[in-house]
Amino acid sequence: MRPGLYLKTSTPNMINSDFWRGKKVLLTGHTGFKGSWMSLWLNELGCTVYGYALQPDSSINLYEEADVDSIVNSLIADVRDADTLNNYVMQVQPDIIFHLAAQPIVRESFKDPVATIDTNVMGTVNLLEAARKIDSVKAIVVVTSDKCYDNKEWQWGYRENEALGGHDPYSASKACAELITQCYRLSFMGNTGANAHQCAVASARAGNVIGGGDWSTDRLIPNIVDSVNNDIDVVLRNPSAIRPWQHVLEPLAGYIMLAEKLATEGHAYAEAWNFGPQDSDARSVSWITEQLIQLFDSESHWRLDSAQHPHEAQHLKLDCSKAQNRLNWKPTWSLSECLHEIVVWHQAHAANEDMRKVSLETIQRYSKKIES
């Protein structure tokens, strides 16, 4: 075990390593950006991690750069393949499931709405349908998105009881995934459903997650890093859009804490949960870009992409008071610290350092900040 990695039980963001040690955890979407960070963290907590996902979606990716495959029992397959997923869940007999597999890009959902909806909605159905047949499963966290809300462009954060909706196919698919999760919780995995399987199911809605190792298509941080590395301007299509930016470890800590509560205390926590930054860290795309250009000590600038683009929300914030009050979770790194960590990670990558080691050291710094 790495010293200092596990969190003290007397502090906020408490993660009980004794609980997690030896647990069998199924993680869908483990080859993605969030899934790779989650795999590293769960393995360090002593879990046996089983992954189910497609191949990484970019030629350079965290999964391969940090050699995540060597610590995960991995099956490369599609969540839309119900039979394969069902057989894998049956084979693994997991204690806890984190469902992260998704088509995560808004603009891609305009190009292929059917695949987006099929993956994000029916993929969730397939996972929950497989899990409800397995007695070993005691907790499931279905990860959706802050974009599941019916966005009114309010200046204040959305709470978990606000109306669901979605202008674009991606957002609508995530709202549907929330409804599907609630349906399975009430009908099959709660205290009231017929033939109820006593498995506590919750959904998690996170803001815009950023961090080192993100090379996903059509995302801001990869765009900035690529522009800085090539000494060209960063092209922004929506520079004034305000988003709840947070380091990837922030919501992952929330997911882990939530899953532990579901497994140990059950249906009292089987609800929807927001995980986002402090309200003051909801910043514009242009602000993030300017800060990172400065931190990378680059001569690049940003310029507006004048082409026509599909609709995007201008303003989106989350109210995370519920998670802070009931889970004792709270944001740990400020946005400035988050951006600093991104620069540290990518500078290490440029220097050909061991990115598994660098990533675990990032987790360790996050843990030490909580302990301080």
* Structure tokens belonging to residue 61: 């990716």
- pLDDT of res. 8: 39
- Residue 112 CB neighbour total at 10 angstroms: 13
Class of residue 295 by CB neighbours under 10 A (exposed 0-12, middle 13-18, buried 19+): middle
The answer to whether 18 and 91 are in contact (CB under 8 A) is no
CA distance 245 to 209: 6
Q: What is the pLDDT of residue 192?
A: 59
Cβ-based burial of 194 (10 A; exposed 0-12, middle 13-18, buried ≥19): exposed
Report yes or no on 361 lying in a domain: no
Evaluate whether residue 372 is within a structural domain: no
Give the separation between CA 371 and CA 188, rounded to whole angstroms: 39
**Residue 273 neighbours by CB under 8 Å, 6+ apart:** 160, 202, 203, 204, 205, 254, 258, 322, 323, 327
Pairing label, strands 242-247, 282-284 = antiparallel
In a domain, 165, yes or no: yes
| 3-state SS string for 260-313 | HHHHHHHHHHCCEEEECCCHHHEEEHHHHHHHHHHHCCCCCCEEECCCCCCCCC
The answer to whether the CB of 98 falls within 8 A of the CB of 143 is yes
Q: For position 314, what pLDDT does the model report?
A: 63
**Structure tokens that stand for 187 in this block:** 């009908």
Please, which residues have CB within 8 angstroms of residue 152's CB and are 6 or more apart in sequence?
Answer: none
Which domain, by its residues, includes 29?
17-210+247-279+317-335
**For position 217, what pLDDT does the model report?**
81
CB-side neighbour CA atoms (13 Å) of 239 = 14
Q: Report the CATH number that the domain containing residue 131 is assigned in CATH.
A: 3.40.50.720
**Contact call for residues 315 and 325 (beta carbons, < 8 A):** no
Tokens for 127?
């996972």
For the four alpha carbons of 175, 263, 275 and 247, in that order, the dihedral sign comes to negative
Q: How many residues does the chain have?
A: 372
Q: Which helix (H) or strand (E) holds 38?
A: helix 33-44
What's the CA gap between 319 and 282, in Å, rounded? 11
The Cα–Cα gap between 341 and 151 comes to 30
Rg, Å, the chain Cα set: 19
Q: What is the pLDDT of residue 7?
A: 41
Alpha-carbon distance 136 to 338, whole Å?
37
Pick from 144, 148, 132: nearest CA to 187: 132
The confidence score (pLDDT) of residue 279 equals 82
Domain-located, residue 366: no
Mean pLDDT by 10 residues, the chain (372 residues): 38 79 98 98 97 93 97 98 98 98 93 97 98 95 96 87 93 97 90 67 94 90 92 90 91 97 94 92 92 93 78 76 94 94 96 98 89 66
3-state DSSP call for residue 201?
Answer: strand
231 part of a folded domain: no
Query: What total of structural domains would you count in the chain?
Result: 1
Structure tokens at 325: 């009050």
Q: State whether residue 243 is helix, strand or coil.
A: strand
Which residue in 245, 348, 346 sits closest to 293, CA to CA? 346
What pLDDT, on the 0 to 100 scale, is given for residue 143?
Answer: 98
